[in-house]
């Protein structure tokens, strides 16, 4: 498979690896928003958030907390974002699921700049009901 992250897992592509266990690998993003920006990926190739089995999610989040803690202690950011982009519309560019750990600094000039929408004509309740109907218990 021609997936750059799978190649990193297999050690066929170089990455600055921060942490690795049987389930995940974490390495520095080669295009950091801020220095110390890291990625956490499952070793198995899953396209996006919705295709990951629950037990793997646990491993990903545990490892993400461990690496984030190390970034906070070493890079000393003022805060951090943990984000995952899913789908082209959301900015996903490598289709092997990954979480970004982005160290943030006061006045680092990086921001999500949302233009907030309004729910018109009681449509908030409609959206809620539509979503609730699809929740699988």
Residue from 23, 45, 66, 104 in contact with Zn ion (CB under 5 A): 45
Could you say whether residue 6 binds Zn ion (CB under 5 A)? yes
- Long-range CB contacts for residues 45-53, cutoff 8 Å, separation at least 24: 45/1, 45/3, 45/5, 45/6, 45/96, 46/96, 46/97, 47/95, 47/96, 47/97, 48/86, 48/87, 48/92, 48/95, 48/97, 49/84, 49/86, 49/97, 50/86, 51/97, 52/97
Selected catalytic residue, list 37, 96, 98, 100: 98
Q: Which stretch binds Zn ion (CB under 5 A): 26-34, 42-50, 59-67, 129-137?
A: 42-50
Could you say whether residue 52 binds Zn ion (CB under 5 A)? no
Question: Is 98 in the active site?
Answer: yes
Could you say whether residue 97 binds Zn ion (CB under 5 A)? no
Catalytic machinery residues: 98
Question: Which stretches of the chain bind Zn ion, using CB under 5 A?
Answer: 3, 5-6, 45, 96
């Amino acid at each position: 498979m021609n997936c750059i992250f799978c190649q990193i897992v297999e050690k066929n592509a170089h990455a600055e690896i921060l942490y690795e266990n049987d389930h995940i690998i974490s390495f520095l993003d080669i295009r950091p928003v801020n220095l110390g920006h890291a990625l956490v990926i499952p070793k198995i190739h899953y396209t996006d958030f919705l295709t990951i089995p629950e037990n793997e999610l646990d491993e990903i989040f545990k490892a993400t907390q461990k690496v984030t803690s190390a970034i906070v202690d070493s890079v000393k950011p003022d805060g951090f974002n943990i984000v995952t982009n899913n789908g082209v519309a959301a900015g996903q560019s490598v289709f092997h699921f990954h979480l970004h750990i982005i160290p943030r600094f006061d006045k680092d000039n990086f921001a999500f700049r949302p233009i907030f929408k309004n729910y018109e004509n009681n449509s908030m309740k409609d959206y809620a009901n539509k979503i609730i109907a699809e929740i699988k218990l």
